[in-house]
């Protein structure tokens, strides 16, 4: 029970990777609080996890007051915050740079980069005054590690998450807050489907496109997140763990 007695917040907790992470943290003894905008999906995920150790909170991570309220609610209801997984993200604007709508660009940056900043700002503010904590930001192998055409906004936002993570780790390690990132490759959620593609089509594409021949299971991404958040990684901070089975090696 690596997380016995700990309170964990997962943004985007009802989605693919967030939900798998919430399940894994709960199995390891954490009380998990899932955050997002879709209350029905969040309630469904909480019910699925069960065990009386799951809760949800409505939050839009692009909104400064909502992000502050999210952390306040977790602390008020559960008495603390020890682990945060900033996972909320969108693929957003797809197309060559010259054709990306400026508003669509802003939206991707608002969720994927500003959302991580706002979430971390309030998580750290609580953790540093209450014995520290650990934070894992969910980035992507598209950005710092690899490139794909037609995904400039997503790639730029995720490269930003990498730099933000390293800087925040340096700023706050002396406060007892360990901050890292994971950079998954294509994983088994709708986000990795091409427009109009089925899961079977994707499996066929990945057989030749990925060195491993397949997408990652969401549980495989969650395993990396849990390790970074756990005491087993007690001397790891400012790290970005690529989980793509050599896709960007
Ligand atoms: P997903 O199933 O679509 O989950 C994304 C989650 O983000 C949703 O639960 C969504 O919940 C939440 N979200 C979006 N905008 C939000 C906002 N403004 N405020 C709060 N929550 C928001 O996607 P996923 O594939 O699990 O992706 C999770 C993370 O992994 C993302 O950061 C993604 O970029 C990253 N990633 C995914 C892959 C992949 O292949 N799937 C690969 C590399 C990295 P609501 O709609 O309820 O708000």
So what's the pLDDT on residue 51?
Answer: 74
Place domain 7-240 in its CATH homologous superfamily: NAD(P)-binding Rossmann-like Domain (3.40.50.720)
The pTM of this model reads 0.99
So what's the pLDDT on residue 93?
Answer: 87
Domain ranges of the chain: 7-240
8 A C-beta contact, residue 30 and residue 83: yes
Number of the ligand 1 atom closest to the C-alpha atom of 66: 19
- Residue bearing the bigger pLDDT, 53 or 237: 237
Q: Between 115-127 and 152-172, two packed helices, what is the crossing angle to 10 degrees? A: 20
8 A C-beta contact, residue 169 and residue 120: no
Four-point Cα dihedral 183, 184, 190, 196, nearest 10: 100
8 A C-beta contact, residue 18 and residue 85: yes
How many DSSP H helices and E strands does the chain contain?
8, 7
Of 154, 162, 218, 224, which is the active-site residue?
A: 154
The tokens for 152 are 């400039």
Number of the ligand 1 atom closest to the C-alpha atom of 184: 43
Protein residue closest via CA to atom 31 of ligand 1:
89
SS3 63: coil
Strand partners, 95: 151
Name the pLDDT band for 205 (thresholds 50, 70, 90). very high
List C-alpha distances in Å: 100 to 91, 122, 196: 13, 31, 20
Tell me what the mean pLDDT of segment 236-241 comes to: 98
Does 111 score more than 90 pLDDT?
yes
Does 157 score more than 80 pLDDT?
yes
46 Cβ contact partners less than 8 Å away, ≥ 6 residues apart: 34, 54, 55, 56
Ligand 1 pocket check for 133: Cβ under 6 Å: no
């Amino acid at each position: 029970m690596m997380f016995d007695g700990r309170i964990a917040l997962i943004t985007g907790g009802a989605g693919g990777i967030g939900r798998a992470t919430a399940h894994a943290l709960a199995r390891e003894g954490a009380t998990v609080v899932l955050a997002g905008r879709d209350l029905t999906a969040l309630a469904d995920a909480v019910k699925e996890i069960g065990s009386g150790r799951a809760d949800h909170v409505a939050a839009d991570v692009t909104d400064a007051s909502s992000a502050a309220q999210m952390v306040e609610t977790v602390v008020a209801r559960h008495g603390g915050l020890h682990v945060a997984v900033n996972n909320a993200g969108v693929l957003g604007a797809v197309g060559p740079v010259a054709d990306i709508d400026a508003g669509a660009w802003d939206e991707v940056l608002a969720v994927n980069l500003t959302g991580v900043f706002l979430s971390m700002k309030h998580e750290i503010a609580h953790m540093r005054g209450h014995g520290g904590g650990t934070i894992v930001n969910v980035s992507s192998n598209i950005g710092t590690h690899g490139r794909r055409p037609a995904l400039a906004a997503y790639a730029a936002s995720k490269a930003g998450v990498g730099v933000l993570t390293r800087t925040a780790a340096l700023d706050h390690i002396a406060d007892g807050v360990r901050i890292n990132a994971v950079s998954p490759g294509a994983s088994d959620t709708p986000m990795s489907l091409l427009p109009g593609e089925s899961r079977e089509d994707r499996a066929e594409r990945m057989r030749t496109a990925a060195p491993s021949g397949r997408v990652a299971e969401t549980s495989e991404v969650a395993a990396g997140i849990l390790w970074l958040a756990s005491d087993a990684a007690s001397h790891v901070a400012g790290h970005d763990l690529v989980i793509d089975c050599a896709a960007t090696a």
